[in-house]
């Protein structure tokens, strides 16, 4: 009898979780700034559209710290979830169709800063 194992998901954060000190910040739109890690990620993976989507959703949200999770549902179908500090999903966008190599990507928004989760404690 063969045991079927679940396919391991590949996360963009595994590749980009190397930022451990304060670096330059980059201006984005609507007064938002990006950390070096996010800047490198959007340029390396061509996913600036994701940041546009997150910033566009801000008018619907009222919390200062948001954890965003882009996750593959199946094939090229993704969902984008926004989770508050209490672990509650406060916003969700489904049926995002795109070609993206990774199965998961996690970003954090702290007030007007968009960072990788590993960078979130570096910037207050």
Whole-prediction pTM value?
0.89
Nearest to 31, CA basis, from 92, 100, 112, 122:
112
Residue 5: both structure tokens together? 């194992």
pLDDT the model gives residue 93? 96
CA distance 71 to 21: 27
In tens, the pLDDT along 42-88 reads 999 999 999 999 999 999 998 989 999 999 999 999 999 999 999 99
What is 26-119's CATH topology?
A: Nuclear Transport Factor 2; Chain: A, (3.10.450)
Cβ atoms 104, 11 nearer than 8 A: yes
pLDDT the model gives residue 2? 64
Give the CA dihedral 65, 85, 72, 74, nearest 10 degrees. -140
CA distance 108 to 119: 9
Domain ranges of the chain: 26-119
């Amino acid at each position: 009898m063969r045991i079927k194992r679940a396919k391991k998901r590949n996360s963009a954060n595994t590749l980009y979780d190397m930022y451990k000190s304060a670096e330059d910040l980059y201006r984005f739109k609507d007064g938002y700034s990006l950390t070096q890690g996010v800047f490198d990620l959007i340029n390396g993976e061509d996913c600036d559209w994701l940041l546009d989507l997150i910033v566009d959703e801000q008018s619907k949200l009222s919390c200062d710290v948001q954890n965003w999770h882009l996750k593959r549902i199946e094939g090229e179908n993704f969902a984008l979830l926004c989770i508050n500090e209490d672990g509650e999903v406060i916003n969700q966008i489904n049926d995002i169709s795109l070609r993206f190599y990774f199965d998961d990507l996690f970003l954090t928004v702290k007030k007007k800063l968009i960072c990788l989760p590993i960078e979130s404690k570096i910037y207050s």
